[in-house]
Structure 1
C-alpha cells in the first residue's frame, strides 16, 4: 500500500528547514575553516525533516549512529588505509554495528565510507561530526516546535 503524499505546505516546510540546516552546516564549517557538510549529513537532514517520526530519525540514532560509524571507519582506515575496498568493508560493518547497538541510522554507514575514502584526522573530524549532528537535531526540534512538521521532533532522545 502506498503511503499518502504530504500536503504541499508540509513538503515546503520540510524542504525549507532541510536547506536551512544544511546551509547552517556550511556556514559553521566556513567559520571554523573545516567542512561540516558531508553527504551523509544531507541524508540525515532528509530523515529528520521528511520522516521525523521514524526511530532512525531520533537524536540518539542520528548522533550515536554517525559517531559509531565514524569510529568504525577510522578502525578500518587504520588497517586498510584509504581504499575503496576498505570503504566497502567499513560501510557494511557500520551497518551491522549500528543495528546491534540499537543506533540504526542508515546515513551513518556512508559516514564510515567517507572516513575511509578521505582519511581525515580523528581529532578534528569527531568533534566536528558531533557538532554537525547536534545542529541537525536542534534545527529538527525547532522545525517540530514551530508547527511546520506533521510530527513533533524528537519523539524520544
Structure 2
C-alpha cells in the first residue's frame, strides 16, 4: 500500500504548492480501490476518471438548482450513482465527489481540472505499482 500512500502524499504536495486542497476524501477512497482491489470494475480507469467527472457534473448541477445544503448533496449523490451506473462507469467515490461539491462549493474552473488530473495520477500510479510489484494483479484489467 506504499504506492497508495505515495500518490496521496503527492496530491497533498501539489495542493501545498498551488495553495488548493487537491486531496479530497473521495480521492483517498479511489486510491484505496485502485491499489487494494485493482481488478474490480469500480477501480478501472474509465470508472475512476469518468465517474469523478460525472460526479462533479451532478454536484454542480445540484448546486445550481438547489443551492449548498444537505438536501441538494443527497440528490447529487443519488443522481451520480444513477448516471455512473447508466454510463457503465460505476465508482462509489464519485458520489462523494458530488457531495463535496455541493457542500464546499469549489470554483469549477479550478476544481474540475484538478480533479481530472488527480484521477489520472491515481490511475497511472496504479498502473506503475502493478508493474513494479510482480506478485500483484495487473492494473488495469481493462482501460476502457
Q: TM-score, normalised by structure 2?
A: 0.96
2:96 aligned with 1:110, yes or no?
Answer: yes
The count of aligned residue pairs is: 143
2:100 aligned with 1:75, yes or no?
Answer: no
Runs of 4+ in 1 over 2 A off after TM superposition: none
CA distance in 1, matches of 2:35, 2:135: 7
1:30 is aligned to: 16
CA distance in 2, matches of 1:57, 1:129: 16
1:8 is aligned to: none
- Give the gaps of 5 or more residues in structure 1: 1-14
Matches within 5 A, 1:51-130: 51-130=37-116
Q: TM-score, normalised by structure 1?
A: 0.88
1:153 is aligned to: 139
Q: CA RMSD in A?
A: 1.0
Q: 1:148 deviation in Å?
A: 5.5
> Of 5, 20, 25, which residue of structure 2 is paired with 1:39?
25
Larger Rg: 1
Q: Secondary structure at the match of 2:23?
A: coil
2:120 aligned with 1:134, yes or no?
Answer: yes
